[in-house]
Amino acid sequence: MNKVSSMLIIGITTLFLGACETTAKRVERHQDLFKALSTPHQGLILSGKIQVGFTTDEVFLAWGRPTRKSVSEDGQGQNETWVYTVTRTAIQYYPVHHYQHISYRWRHINEPYYFQYGYVSKDVVFANGQVSAWAVYTPPVPLRDY
């Protein structure tokens, strides 16, 4: 394996491990930030919940890194939206015909085809660095470009 392949594997592994990080692991890695918060906020974060007024750091501790970020502006100023997505896999089977040279026959089989769909599972809007609105979608809604 060459150096480029090794670096690519390390980068992909890091990406997946970062995406799988739990709230407890984030809190453990950022104890100084967590300990500076009020007890009610700590309790919400440990249970994976957020509320209006949370800072970006508090949302990061509770929900992790967003899949996407976008910035918009309205009459009150600039807003930042964090979007969290999940990926679901669906399987469809298609009939495929294979000719077998040994038996001189056509063989009919159903081969799987895998579709991956991205869904928005939750989002949070920050105004002036604090949560102004948030939503959790159950079930997740189809992913849209923001």
At 42-98, the pLDDT tens digits run 999 999 999 999 999 999 999 999 999 999 998 888 999 999 999 888 888 989 988
**What's residue 116's pLDDT?**
86
Evaluated on CA atoms 56, 61, 65, 66, the torsion sign reads negative
Please say if the pLDDT value at position 7 is more than 50: no
**What's residue 88's pLDDT?**
86
**What's residue 103's pLDDT?**
87
Residues 6+ apart with CB under 8 A from 71: 78, 79, 80, 81
Which of the pair, 3 or 123, is modelled with greater confidence? 123
**What's residue 45's pLDDT?**
97
Please say if the pLDDT value at position 5 is more than 80: no
Which of the pair, 19 or 113, is modelled with greater confidence? 113
At 95-136, the pLDDT tens digits run 998 888 888 899 888 999 898 888 899 999 999 999 999 999
Residue 21 CA to residue 64 CA, distance in Å, equals 8
**What's residue 17's pLDDT?**
44
Please say if the pLDDT value at position 18 is more than 50: no
